[in-house]
């Protein structure tokens, strides 16, 4: 029997390969392709830190957990991941080499000591002696000097040393330093640069004088970052301080991967691996640099060549809002829908600022998951509190890798007089929900905003997201119920219009799917359209398979992980799945159920992953205004017709580029053009 499900880790690696392929796509401007190879690398870092880290914990604890879709054990999943990553590293190295060759044609060249002459080497040695050597802190590992702690994702120069009496030692030098430049100009060679870590490695013998250098390499360790904060939390501790301490602990967690820039003597690699307590299969040899952030510096050097970059795109003013008039009043006239980054986030920011000053506004309640470092959203909430409004903010301190930023903002909000809630036991609050409550002529009125993306002005220019603003009283009442439950440390047990996870989202989705199955079995036209970042929830996938078998037409746009394989006869033959990876990160979630007049539209913060549908607080909202429904359908149809940035998932579980037939359609560029036309 054909396998209809795929392992989520392997599916994620397929997604990251699609990102990497954009770095090799000649249709993408050259300097933008550098961004994609850098994103591929940072994505892979986070994958090892979180996903492989979690699997490693399961192996160590001997937990008998198997993947509920493929039956693979944690150890089997790690083995499959390592094999696939080894393949991807070779592909990345080849793409990086091609990219650097094309960058060289633009007058910028990254060299090593094989590509420069004696005179340049002498000048670089002088630079090393004067500018770098005084700032490095070498260690020789021996009986009296323990193996140093290697920081997560930092680069080190390592050498096998031999004393005069033939005793072996390990020399280690940290290369990550904010004092000296990563890209060092090569004297006398215009446009030529060398990486600082390569300079340190080359002159490592000058640091470890008195030793013979047997073998040397750059190395980089990736550490586990998967910490279960709920399992470790002690109720006697202040939660915010507990999370701050947990962030310090994360930096010390066990290694899950070691990368090397050169082949080293097996014995020395084994010794380092033993010190790190790292499995031998988790050693990866890279021909390209171990860390790619220097590529952004290369982009800066080439900024004067606009043809090497994407054409500048500025989020457009939404025609739904009139200048110089109250945003609150305009939302009361009818629902509004913003589509980022094609439209500007400014109307929402103005809404918050206006609410902070409006005398009729009595409270603002909001859930924050990730916000900007310099957040205008938080500043508006602080202003509202200082103006005497009741401001209740749920700040999710467990937003992975944003914990420290959220801790800092939570302190500022509290100091301004806001009531800050830190989430729920066992559930992350991932919803994008804002509720403004007004008292006008003795009546309570609500303005509710429900979004698919974070309240972050910076990512609103980079991620595609949707933001619904409505004065619908019933939606406002249900949103008030969500915030009331959160304040009590509880979750919503019942909802009508909204879908609210963990208890009222998955079941509602299943019910809507059952409705389509029923129509299909009666010989009627039935349809489901889904735009998501990820699809892993097996309960929902089983229902999608049932729907396909019943004859429901199912179209899905899944950017990242997709554990369901379409097109398998008798199982998923009525399902089509594409992924769009382009200039902007596809982040909006759209659910469509039904055909004709019974078609229903929702936007949501929730992907169809078990962690979202039953382990987090998420909110999906209906979009009912006909003009806004048409816009959602337009977005969905455009993406389905994309033949420039879309890949289609085949019945063999592999992705292939959607062939271009007829007119070229880049859905993201087309949506931007439409935003310009509407303005």
Question: Is 43 flagged in the annotation as binding?
Answer: yes
Read off the tokens for 98.
């091609």
Asked if 361 contacts 438 with a C-beta cutoff of 8 angstroms, the reply is: yes
Question: Is 587 flagged in the annotation as binding?
Answer: yes
Partnered with residue 217 across adjacent β-strands are: 158
Distance of CA 428 to the CA centre of its chain: 16
Secondary structure letter of residue 560 according to DSSP: S
Secondary structure letter of residue 201 according to DSSP: H
Read off the tokens for 279.
């499995």
Rounded Cα distance between 446 and 455, Å, is 19
Rounded Cα distance between 172 and 218, Å, is 9
Rounded Cα distance between 558 and 15, Å, is 10
- In order, the DSSP letters of 216-229 are EEEEEEEE-----H
In angstroms, the Cα distances linking 30 to 195, 287, 441, 488 are 21, 21, 60, 52
* Residue 376, helix vs strand vs coil: helix
Strands 419-421 and 390-395: parallel
Q: How many CA atoms lie within 13 A of 602 on its CB side?
A: 25
657 contact partners, CB below 8 Å, separation of at least 6: 646, 647, 648
* Residue 202 annotated as catalytic: no
- Which of 247, 269, 271, 252 minimizes the C-alpha distance to 260? 269
Q: Degrees (nearest 5) of the Cα angle 62, 67, 73?
A: 40
The one catalytic residue among 202, 270, 430, 519: 430
Question: Is 370 flagged in the annotation as binding?
Answer: yes
Task: Give the chain's length.
Answer: 679
- Which of 287, 291, 278, 286 minimizes the C-alpha distance to 78? 278
Tokens 């999710």 locate to 396
Binding region for ATP? 43, 463, 559, 587
Which residues are annotated as catalytic? 430
Binding region for Mg(2+)? 370, 400
Binding region? 43, 370, 400, 463, 559, 587
């Amino acid at each position: 029997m054909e396998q209809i499900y795929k392992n989520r880790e392997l599916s994620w690696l397929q997604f990251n390969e699609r990102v990497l392929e954009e770095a090799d796509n000649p249709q993408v401007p050259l300097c933008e392709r550098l961004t994609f190879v850098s994103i591929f690398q940072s994505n892979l870092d986070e994958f090892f830190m979180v996903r492989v880290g979690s699997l490693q914990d399961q192996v160590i604890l001997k937990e008998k957990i198997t993947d509920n879709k493929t039956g693979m054990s944690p150890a089997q999943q790690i083995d499959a991941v390592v094999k696939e990553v080894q393949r991807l590293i070779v592909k990345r190295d080849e793409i990086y080499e091609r990219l650097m060759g094309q960058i060289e044609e633009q007058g910028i060249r990254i060299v090593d000591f094989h590509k420069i002459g004696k005179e340049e080497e002498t000048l670089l040695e002088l630079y090393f002696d004067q500018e770098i050597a005084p700032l490095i802190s070498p260690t020789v590992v021996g009986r009296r000097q323990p193996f140093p702690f290697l920081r997560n994702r930092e680069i080190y120069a390592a050498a096998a040393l031999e004393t005069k009496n033939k005793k072996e030692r390990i020399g280690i030098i940290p290369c990550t330093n904010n004092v000296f430049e990563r890209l060092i100009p090569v004297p006398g060679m215009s446009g030529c640069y060398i990486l600082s870590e390569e300079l340190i490695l080359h002159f490592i013998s000058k640091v470890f004088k008195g030793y013979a250098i047997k073998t040397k390499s750059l190395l980089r360790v990736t550490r586990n970052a998967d910490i279960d904060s709920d399992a470790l939390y002690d109720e006697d501790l202040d939660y915010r301080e507990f999370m701050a301490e947990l962030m310090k602990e994360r930096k010390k967690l066990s290694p899950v991967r070691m990368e090397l820039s050169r082949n080293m003597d097996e014995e020395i690699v084994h010794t380092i691996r033993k010190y790190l307590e790292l499995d031998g299969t988790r050693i990866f040899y890279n021909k390209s640099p171990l860390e790619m952030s220097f590529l952004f510096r290369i982009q800066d050097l080439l900024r004067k060549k606009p043809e090497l970059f994407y054409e500048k795109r500025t989020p457009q003013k939404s025609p739904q809002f009139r200048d110089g008039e109250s945003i609150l009043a305009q939302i009361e006239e009818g629902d509004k829908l913003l589509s980022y980054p094609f439209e500007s986030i400014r109307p929402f920011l103005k809404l918050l600022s206006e609410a902070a000053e409006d005398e009729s506004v009595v409270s603002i309640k909001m859930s924050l998951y990730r916000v900007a470092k310099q957040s205008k959203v938080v500043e508006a909430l602080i202003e509202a509190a200082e103006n005497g409004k009741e401001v209740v903010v749920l700040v999710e301190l467990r937003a992975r890798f944003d914990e420290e930023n959220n801790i800092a903002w939570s302190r500022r909000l509290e100091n301004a007089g806001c009531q800050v809630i830190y989430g729920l036991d066992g559930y992350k609050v991932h919803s994008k929900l804002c509720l403004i409550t007004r008292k006008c002529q003795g009546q309570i009125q609500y303005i509710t905003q429900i979004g698919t993306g974070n309240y972050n002005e910076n990512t609103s220019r980079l991620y595609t997201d949707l933001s619904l603003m409505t004065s619908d009283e019933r939606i406002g009442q249900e949103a008030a119920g969500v915030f009331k439950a959160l304040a009590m440390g509880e979750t919503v047990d019942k909802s009508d219009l909204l879908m609210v996870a963990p208890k009222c989202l998955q079941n509602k989705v299943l019910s809507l799917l059952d409705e389509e199955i029923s129509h299909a079995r009666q010989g009627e036209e039935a349809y489901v359209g889904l735009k998501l970042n990820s699809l892993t929830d097996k309960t929902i996938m089983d229902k999608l398979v049932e729907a396909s078998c019943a004859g429901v037409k199912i179209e899905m746009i899944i950017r990242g992980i997709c554990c369901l394989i379409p097109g398998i006869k008798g199982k998923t033959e009525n399902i089509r799945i594409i992924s769009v990876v382009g200039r902007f990160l596809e982040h909006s979630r759209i659910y469509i159920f039904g055909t004709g007049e019974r078609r229903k539209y929702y936007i949501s913060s929730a992907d169809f992953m078990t962690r979202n549908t039953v382990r987090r607080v998420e909110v999906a909202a209906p979009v009912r205004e006909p003009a806004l429904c048409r816009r959602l359908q337009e977005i969905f149809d455009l993406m389905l017709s994309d033949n420039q940035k879309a890949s289609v998932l085949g019945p063999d579980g592999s992705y292939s580029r959607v062939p271009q037939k007829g007119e070229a359609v880049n859905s993201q560029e087309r949506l931007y053009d439409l935003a310009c036309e509407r303005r």
